[in-house]
Each structure stands twice: as C-alpha cells, then as structure tokens.
Amino acid sequence: MSNILLITSSPRGTESLSARFAGDFARRLRQQRPGATLTVRDLYAQPPAHIDEAYIVGRGLPADTRTPAQAAAVAHAEALIAELHAADTVVIGSGMINFGPPTQLRAWFDYVAWPGVTFRYVEGKIEGLLGGKKTYLVTASGGVFSNGPRAAVDFQSNYLKYLLGLIGLTDIEHMRVEGLAYGPDAAKAAIDNAQTAVQALLAKAA
C-alpha cells in the first residue's frame, strides 16, 4: 500500500500556487493508487516552533534524563520523522520568500535533519538514512529561476534539494510555477505549464 506525505508551507494560504499544485498532485496520485493513504502536514496552519536549546540539547540526552521542555521538543521532531518513515512518496510545496523557502519549511528541516537519525557521517561522507522514497517538489516564484540570470540566486530549489538529499531523498521530480509576477499572460502561461507538468508526472507515476 502506498503512503503519500504532503507538506505545504506557504503563508499565502488558499491563494498559494505551490500548495495548490502540490495538493492537487498528491490527491490525484492517491486516486490512481488503490488503497493509498494521504497524510497532510500544513506547516502554515500548524507552524513548527523554531528549534531552541531544549531541542538541541535534549536530542543528545537519554530519554529518561530530558527535562519536560526537552522531551516535548524531541517528541515533536520524532513525530515529523515518523511521518517521513511511514511515507513511500513525499510531495512538498514551497513558495519563494526572499529567494528562499518559507521559514516554516526551513524550521521543519531543522527538526528532521537529525544527525544519527536521518543522516550520518561515514568515513567523512554524508549518508542519508531515509532513502527509497520518491519525492515531488513543487516550487512557485514571481520570477524565472530555472534558467537565465536569476538561476544563480535560486536559493529555494538548491536549498531544498540539498537538504532532501542530506536525509536520503535523492529521487526528486521538480515542478516549477514561475514567472508569476511578469503580468497576467505570463502568470497564465506559468499555471498552464504547471498543469501540463502535473499531468505528465501523473502519467509517469501510473
């Protein structure tokens, strides 16, 4: 049975195109997989707290020695990681904020990128421990970052792909909704292109 994890993060809520396309793709993927489950983690509706000393210190302590604050912080990270472990397919929506992903999504990575739990160092090299999963990344941006002069400052996609690879999620399909700030015609073209990309990836995943 397929288990799909959908993670959205845009502060634009229902107006978010990254959340819209990621959600549409995840739901249609579930429909074409009989018996599949869909878990939704909306990081805007339920934003994770930024990590603090309780988490950093607590995750390195035996469970029975943690303070209540440390135990709560570690339990939150463990719950997020458990969702990843349970999924065979991960769908992530991210809308660009100041050339990077939303702070809510960065905070999520701060919890799930856990040395010794989701990745480890082997002979000086990083080994991700959550491999064997398919990941679909949907990014939205006002400008065009897939090519041209802005490609060098696409800190959103590069950051997300690097951290996904860090924890072992290296099999990534990337859908872009870009050029949304270039006027109505460009926005419509971006949405049409994204819809075509969704169709193509659904066909490929069938």
Which residues make up each annotated binding site for FMN? 10, 16-18
The domains of the chain are located at 3-205
Give me the residues paired with residue 97 across strands.
100
Residue 156: alpha-carbon gap to chain centroid: 11
pLDDT for res 107 = 97
> Which token pair is 196?
């075509």
Model pLDDT for residues 129-145, shown as the tens digit of each residue: 999 999 999 999 999 99
pLDDT for res 196 = 95
- Per the CB < 8 A criterion, the answer to whether 103 and 49 are in contact is no
| Superfamily for domain range 3-205 | Flavodoxin domain (3.40.50.360)
pTM of the model: 0.94
The three state secondary structure string of 130-168 is CCCCEEEEEEEECCCCCCCHHHHHCHHHHHHHHHHHHCC
pLDDT for res 15 = 84
Distances (CA, A) of 21 to 3, 14, 15: 19, 11, 11
Which residues make up each annotated binding site? 10, 16-18
